[in-house]
Protein backbone atom coordinates (compact mmCIF):
# COMPACT_ATOMS: atom_id res chain seq x y z
CA UNK A 1 0.00 0.00 0.00
CA UNK A 2 2.82 2.37 0.89
CA UNK A 3 4.49 1.61 -2.43
CA UNK A 4 1.26 2.37 -4.30
CA UNK A 5 0.90 5.73 -2.51
CA UNK A 6 4.54 6.57 -3.14
CA UNK A 7 4.25 5.78 -6.86
CA UNK A 8 1.10 7.91 -7.11
CA UNK A 9 2.85 10.85 -5.43
CA UNK A 10 5.81 10.54 -7.79
CA UNK A 11 3.55 10.47 -10.86
CA UNK A 12 1.67 13.54 -9.60
CA UNK A 13 4.95 15.43 -9.05
CA UNK A 14 6.20 14.45 -12.51
CA UNK A 15 2.99 15.68 -14.14
CA UNK A 16 3.24 18.98 -12.25
CA UNK A 17 6.83 19.45 -13.45
CA UNK A 18 5.83 18.72 -17.05
CA UNK A 19 2.97 21.23 -16.82
CA UNK A 20 5.31 23.88 -15.42
CA UNK A 21 7.82 23.15 -18.19
CA UNK A 22 5.11 23.62 -20.86
CA UNK A 23 3.97 26.86 -19.25
CA UNK A 24 7.55 28.13 -19.34
CA UNK A 25 7.67 27.51 -23.11
CA UNK A 26 10.22 24.67 -22.89
CA UNK A 27 7.92 22.10 -24.45
CA UNK A 28 5.08 23.68 -26.46
CA UNK A 29 2.29 21.26 -27.46
CA UNK A 30 2.13 20.51 -31.20
CA UNK A 31 -1.36 21.97 -31.54
CA UNK A 32 -0.50 25.27 -29.83
CA UNK A 33 -0.78 28.45 -31.88
CA UNK A 34 2.53 30.40 -31.88
CA UNK A 35 2.56 33.70 -30.03
CA UNK A 36 2.95 36.29 -32.82
CA UNK A 37 5.04 38.47 -30.52
CA UNK A 38 7.61 35.67 -30.21
CA UNK A 39 7.80 34.72 -33.91
CA UNK A 40 11.19 35.56 -35.40
CA UNK A 41 12.03 36.21 -39.03
CA UNK A 42 15.13 36.64 -41.17
CA UNK A 43 16.69 40.06 -40.58
CA UNK A 44 19.70 40.60 -42.90
CA UNK A 45 22.57 43.01 -42.29
CA UNK A 46 24.30 45.47 -44.65
CA UNK A 47 26.85 43.92 -46.99
CA UNK A 48 24.92 40.75 -47.79
CA UNK A 49 25.08 40.03 -51.56
CA UNK A 50 21.90 40.09 -53.61
CA UNK A 51 20.51 38.91 -56.95
CA UNK A 52 17.08 39.31 -58.53
CA UNK A 53 15.72 36.89 -61.15
CA UNK A 54 12.04 36.93 -62.13
CA UNK A 55 12.49 34.49 -65.03
CA UNK A 56 11.10 31.02 -64.48
CA UNK A 57 13.81 29.11 -62.62
CA UNK A 58 15.22 26.00 -64.22
CA UNK A 59 16.45 22.82 -62.58
CA UNK A 60 20.06 23.25 -61.60
CA UNK A 61 20.02 27.07 -61.56
CA UNK A 62 22.69 28.42 -59.23
CA UNK A 63 23.48 31.87 -57.90
CA UNK A 64 26.63 33.36 -56.42
CA UNK A 65 24.73 35.89 -54.27
CA UNK A 66 23.77 35.09 -50.69
CA UNK A 67 20.22 36.42 -51.16
CA UNK A 68 18.04 35.59 -54.19
CA UNK A 69 14.75 37.35 -55.05
CA UNK A 70 12.44 35.24 -57.26
CA UNK A 71 8.79 35.10 -58.31
CA UNK A 72 6.38 33.91 -55.63
CA UNK A 73 4.05 32.18 -58.09
CA UNK A 74 6.27 30.49 -60.67
CA UNK A 75 8.91 29.36 -58.17
CA UNK A 76 8.08 25.99 -56.61
CA UNK A 77 8.61 24.82 -53.06
CA UNK A 78 11.18 22.36 -54.40
CA UNK A 79 13.12 25.19 -56.06
CA UNK A 80 13.07 27.23 -52.84
CA UNK A 81 14.38 24.17 -50.99
CA UNK A 82 17.12 23.73 -53.61
CA UNK A 83 18.22 27.34 -53.12
CA UNK A 84 18.23 26.82 -49.37
CA UNK A 85 20.42 23.77 -49.93
CA UNK A 86 22.87 26.10 -51.70
CA UNK A 87 22.94 28.24 -48.55
CA UNK A 88 20.77 31.04 -49.97
CA UNK A 89 18.07 33.12 -48.35
CA UNK A 90 15.10 33.38 -50.70
CA UNK A 91 12.80 36.39 -51.13
CA UNK A 92 9.40 36.09 -52.83
CA UNK A 93 8.54 38.82 -55.33
CA UNK A 94 4.83 39.61 -55.31
CA UNK A 95 2.77 42.62 -56.26
CA UNK A 96 0.88 44.24 -53.40
CA UNK A 97 -0.42 47.45 -54.97
CA UNK A 98 -1.61 45.98 -58.28
CA UNK A 99 -3.27 42.82 -59.55
CA UNK A 100 -1.86 41.03 -62.61
CA UNK A 101 -4.45 39.55 -64.95
CA UNK A 102 -2.51 36.30 -65.35
CA UNK A 103 -2.35 35.42 -61.66
CA UNK A 104 -4.70 32.70 -60.36
CA UNK A 105 -5.93 34.65 -57.33
CA UNK A 106 -7.51 37.68 -59.05
CA UNK A 107 -10.97 36.34 -58.16
CA UNK A 108 -10.27 37.02 -54.49
CA UNK A 109 -10.52 40.77 -55.11
CA UNK A 110 -13.89 42.55 -55.24
CA UNK A 111 -14.37 44.65 -58.37
CA UNK A 112 -14.63 47.91 -56.43
CA UNK A 113 -10.96 47.74 -55.35
CA UNK A 114 -9.63 47.30 -58.91
CA UNK A 115 -8.67 50.54 -60.63
CA UNK A 116 -6.91 51.78 -63.74
CA UNK A 117 -4.43 49.94 -65.91
CA UNK A 118 -0.77 50.48 -64.99
CA UNK A 119 0.45 51.91 -68.36
CA UNK A 120 4.03 50.59 -68.12
CA UNK A 121 2.72 47.12 -67.28
CA UNK A 122 -0.59 46.75 -69.16
CA UNK A 123 -1.37 43.34 -67.63
CA UNK A 124 -1.68 45.02 -64.23
CA UNK A 125 -4.32 47.22 -62.63
CA UNK A 126 -3.89 49.42 -59.58
CA UNK A 127 -5.67 48.54 -56.35
CA UNK A 128 -7.46 50.76 -53.87
CA UNK A 129 -5.10 50.18 -50.96
CA UNK A 130 -7.33 52.31 -48.71
CA UNK A 131 -9.82 49.42 -48.46
CA UNK A 132 -7.71 47.29 -46.15
CA UNK A 133 -10.43 44.90 -44.98
CA UNK A 134 -11.42 44.05 -48.55
CA UNK A 135 -7.79 43.43 -49.49
CA UNK A 136 -6.96 41.22 -46.50
CA UNK A 137 -8.28 37.89 -47.89
CA UNK A 138 -6.23 38.37 -51.06
CA UNK A 139 -3.12 39.47 -49.17
CA UNK A 140 -3.43 36.59 -46.71
CA UNK A 141 -3.75 34.16 -49.61
CA UNK A 142 -0.56 35.47 -51.20
CA UNK A 143 1.35 35.42 -47.93
CA UNK A 144 0.15 31.89 -47.15
CA UNK A 145 1.39 30.76 -50.57
CA UNK A 146 4.79 32.27 -49.78
CA UNK A 147 4.95 30.66 -46.33
CA UNK A 148 3.90 27.25 -47.64
CA UNK A 149 6.66 27.30 -50.25
CA UNK A 150 9.27 27.96 -47.58
CA UNK A 151 10.39 31.47 -48.56
CA UNK A 152 12.29 33.57 -46.04
CA UNK A 153 10.84 36.96 -46.93
CA UNK A 154 8.56 38.95 -49.18
CA UNK A 155 9.21 41.79 -51.62
CA UNK A 156 5.90 43.69 -51.99
CA UNK A 157 5.91 45.65 -55.24
CA UNK A 158 3.97 48.73 -56.36
CA UNK A 159 3.72 50.64 -53.12
CA UNK A 160 3.78 53.98 -54.97
CA UNK A 161 0.13 54.32 -55.97
CA UNK A 162 -0.03 57.78 -54.38
CA UNK A 163 2.21 58.97 -57.25
CA UNK A 164 0.21 57.27 -60.02
CA UNK A 165 -3.08 57.55 -61.88
CA UNK A 166 -4.75 54.68 -60.06
CA UNK A 167 -8.39 55.72 -60.31
CA UNK A 168 -8.42 56.28 -56.55
CA UNK A 169 -7.52 59.21 -54.31
CA UNK A 170 -4.60 57.52 -52.55
CA UNK A 171 -2.39 59.56 -50.22
CA UNK A 172 1.02 58.93 -48.71
CA UNK A 173 -0.74 58.34 -45.39
CA UNK A 174 -2.89 55.65 -47.03
CA UNK A 175 0.34 54.07 -48.25
CA UNK A 176 1.77 54.08 -44.73
CA UNK A 177 -1.33 52.35 -43.33
CA UNK A 178 -1.10 49.78 -46.12
CA UNK A 179 2.58 49.20 -45.34
CA UNK A 180 1.76 48.76 -41.66
CA UNK A 181 -0.70 46.02 -42.60
CA UNK A 182 1.77 44.29 -44.92
CA UNK A 183 4.51 44.35 -42.30
CA UNK A 184 2.22 42.90 -39.63
CA UNK A 185 0.89 40.15 -41.91
CA UNK A 186 4.43 39.16 -42.94
CA UNK A 187 6.04 39.30 -39.52
CA UNK A 188 3.15 37.45 -37.87
CA UNK A 189 3.85 34.61 -40.31
CA UNK A 190 7.59 34.64 -39.64
CA UNK A 191 8.51 36.34 -42.93
CA UNK A 192 10.91 39.23 -43.39
CA UNK A 193 9.64 42.06 -45.60
CA UNK A 194 11.29 44.90 -47.47
CA UNK A 195 10.41 48.39 -48.64
CA UNK A 196 10.29 48.61 -52.44
CA UNK A 197 11.34 52.05 -53.74
CA UNK A 198 9.20 54.91 -52.33
CA UNK A 199 12.11 56.85 -50.80
CA UNK A 200 9.63 59.10 -49.00
CA UNK A 201 9.03 56.25 -46.54
CA UNK A 202 12.65 55.60 -45.61
CA UNK A 203 13.16 57.86 -42.60
CA UNK A 204 10.16 56.40 -40.78
CA UNK A 205 9.85 52.91 -42.22
CA UNK A 206 13.51 51.92 -41.97
CA UNK A 207 12.52 51.14 -38.38
CA UNK A 208 9.74 48.79 -39.56
CA UNK A 209 10.78 47.10 -42.80
CA UNK A 210 13.76 44.71 -42.76
CA UNK A 211 15.59 46.10 -45.80
CA UNK A 212 14.95 48.30 -48.84
CA UNK A 213 15.15 47.45 -52.54
CA UNK A 214 15.70 50.35 -54.93
CA UNK A 215 15.45 50.62 -58.71
CA UNK A 216 17.56 53.22 -60.57
CA UNK A 217 18.13 55.20 -57.36
CA UNK A 218 21.64 56.24 -58.43
CA UNK A 219 20.55 57.08 -61.97
CA UNK A 220 17.64 59.14 -60.65
CA UNK A 221 19.66 60.75 -57.86
CA UNK A 222 17.79 59.65 -54.72
CA UNK A 223 20.25 57.05 -53.43
CA UNK A 224 20.95 59.05 -50.25
CA UNK A 225 17.26 59.00 -49.29
CA UNK A 226 17.52 55.35 -48.23
CA UNK A 227 20.60 55.79 -46.02
CA UNK A 228 18.45 55.48 -42.86
CA UNK A 229 18.39 51.73 -43.52
CA UNK A 230 22.15 51.54 -43.08
CA UNK A 231 21.82 53.60 -39.90
CA UNK A 232 19.35 50.94 -38.68
CA UNK A 233 21.88 48.22 -39.61
CA UNK A 234 19.64 46.97 -42.42
CA UNK A 235 20.71 46.41 -46.05
CA UNK A 236 20.04 48.47 -49.14
CA UNK A 237 19.71 46.34 -52.28
CA UNK A 238 20.40 48.87 -55.05
CA UNK A 239 19.48 47.71 -58.56
CA UNK A 240 20.38 49.81 -61.60
CA UNK A 241 19.18 48.93 -65.11
CA UNK A 242 21.10 48.53 -68.36
CA UNK A 243 18.64 50.68 -70.34
CA UNK A 244 19.58 53.71 -68.23
CA UNK A 245 23.07 52.93 -66.88
CA UNK A 246 25.97 51.51 -68.89
CA UNK A 247 28.36 48.93 -67.49
CA UNK A 248 31.18 51.47 -67.49
CA UNK A 249 29.09 54.03 -65.58
CA UNK A 250 28.01 51.34 -63.16
CA UNK A 251 31.60 50.21 -62.59
CA UNK A 252 33.21 53.64 -62.42
CA UNK A 253 30.49 55.69 -60.70
CA UNK A 254 27.79 53.56 -59.07
CA UNK A 255 30.02 50.90 -57.52
CA UNK A 256 32.39 53.27 -55.68
CA UNK A 257 29.45 55.30 -54.38
CA UNK A 258 27.52 52.17 -53.34
CA UNK A 259 30.55 50.74 -51.55
CA UNK A 260 31.05 54.02 -49.71
CA UNK A 261 27.39 53.96 -48.63
CA UNK A 262 27.59 50.23 -47.72
CA UNK A 263 24.89 49.36 -50.27
CA UNK A 264 24.70 46.04 -52.15
CA UNK A 265 24.54 47.16 -55.80
CA UNK A 266 23.95 45.18 -59.00
CA UNK A 267 23.22 45.97 -62.66
CA UNK A 268 20.34 44.08 -64.29
CA UNK A 269 18.36 43.99 -67.51
CA UNK A 270 14.95 45.63 -67.12
CA UNK A 271 13.16 42.29 -67.60
CA UNK A 272 15.06 40.87 -64.61
CA UNK A 273 16.33 37.76 -66.35
CA UNK A 274 19.29 35.64 -65.27
CA UNK A 275 21.96 38.14 -66.40
CA UNK A 276 23.60 40.20 -63.67
CA UNK A 277 26.64 42.46 -63.48
CA UNK A 278 28.25 43.06 -60.10
CA UNK A 279 30.70 45.46 -58.56
CA UNK A 280 34.24 44.05 -58.55
Grade residue 51 by pLDDT with cuts at 50, 70 and 90: very high
Domain boundaries, the chain: 48-278
CB 233 within 8 A of CB 46: yes
Interval 200-211: pLDDT, tens: 999 999 999 999
Q: What is the pLDDT of residue 60?
A: 83
Interval 247-275: pLDDT, tens: 999 999 999 999 999 999 999 999 999 99
Provide mean pLDDT across the span 8-16: 41
Grade residue 2 by pLDDT with cuts at 50, 70 and 90: very low
Q: What is the pLDDT of residue 39?
A: 60
Beta bridge partners of 264: 237
**Residue 226 φ/ψ, nearest 5 degrees:** -100, 10
Q: Does position 13 have pLDDT exceeding 80, yes or no?
A: no
**Domain 48-278 - what CATH class?**
alpha beta
Amino acid sequence: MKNTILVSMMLFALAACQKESRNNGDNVPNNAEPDASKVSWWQPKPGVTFDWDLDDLKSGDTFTAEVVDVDAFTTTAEQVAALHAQGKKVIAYVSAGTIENDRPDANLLPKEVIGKVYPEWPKERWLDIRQLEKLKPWLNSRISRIVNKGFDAIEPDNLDGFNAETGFDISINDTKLFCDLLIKLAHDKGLGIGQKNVPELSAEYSKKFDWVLTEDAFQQGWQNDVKPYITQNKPVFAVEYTDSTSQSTFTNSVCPAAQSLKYSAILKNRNLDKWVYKCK
